[in-house]
Structure 1
């Protein structure tokens, strides 16, 4: 029998001691506050008043005992970033995960890293116009409300940061052409996706997901400072966290 209290304590421990999951171009001491029962966001920390900046990748976790079983089909938890859909995937621990970052900063940072060199490699970039990769990866999956997304390896139509345009206009196609060569380095520790066909694995390309995950969804926070709101629209009441995307020099003060 699971309780919200147990999940809250577990995720708080993970987020405090697991802050190294995000490969950062700079280091910020992170002390996480958990202001919601089921929604946990890695940028939520008291020391910097929920500010983040540059190419930092934000991890979002929904830990909800109502949608936790691995062998049962659930509707995907509805989570948004500034009103735009953030697509969540269930991992083998029963929790739901997603990652997001600022598009402009992700592209700029990726351009500074050579392929195969540890640093701020985001993998390869995909635009949303004409995209067929997402729906072939998982039935009903679409990243249409984002400004693009990255996958961990090369797929048909994806481009590395050195050649991708901004805005991202290239389309990623189907799930063919996956090289399996892992190019992403900004997320170094992540959960394995649940492939149980009786649960989240229904309609999932089980071969492809292990090669392209983690996926980073990109949004536009180009106005400095930008208000960023993450909203888990849970039945019975929304769980919301507010952030500010700002200049790193202001955060360090």
Structure 2
């Protein structure tokens, strides 16, 4: 399984809800454990008292010591087993929550961030860029000729091609940039860069898409049309920025495909 750079994409609200739920479960487990240990220590203390005072107690009272020890040991074993099972249950539930959270924000085919995850990442990045006045660009990528791949070679080949492109593209972006698949053959890339850096990145993405990507089909060739929008010049919010990048991508399609176009520049 390919490990991607852009896996951890959660909004602050979702992170807080998960953290609060896990914290609440941990507190409940700790409270139960402390209460159970106190109960066991109380019984053990009483048995220890009986042992120390056994010489002064009648045999009838002292005869309760052995059954008491057995009850105490049984309670301790039960406590250990129950606490272990409860711990494993909490761990499994926490892992399940993490898995569901990951699945809800990632594309099952490519492993990239999906539309929902990208919207969260984009909103977070916009707030950060506005506050820090940092560089931020959105690249809208639409594969050229992908429909013919499905029609001629089958959808299984098309899926494999998508995974290959996504994998190589993801290796071409910098840590912190977010590559996402919106669906079908449409991708978006959130890059913390502008100007020449974004153009160099676009050239790398174009080079990947136009290369021979599958050894079993060396003649298979596709391309990609890229639209680029820069924040805040081409859009002051998520919707505006996506619309500008999408419009620029359509201009790239109209210009012969397999190229990139800036929003409002050309």
- Structure 1-normalised TM-score? 0.24
Question: More strand per residue: 1 or 2?
Answer: 1
Question: More helix per residue: 1 or 2?
Answer: 2
Q: Which has the larger radius of gyration?
A: 2
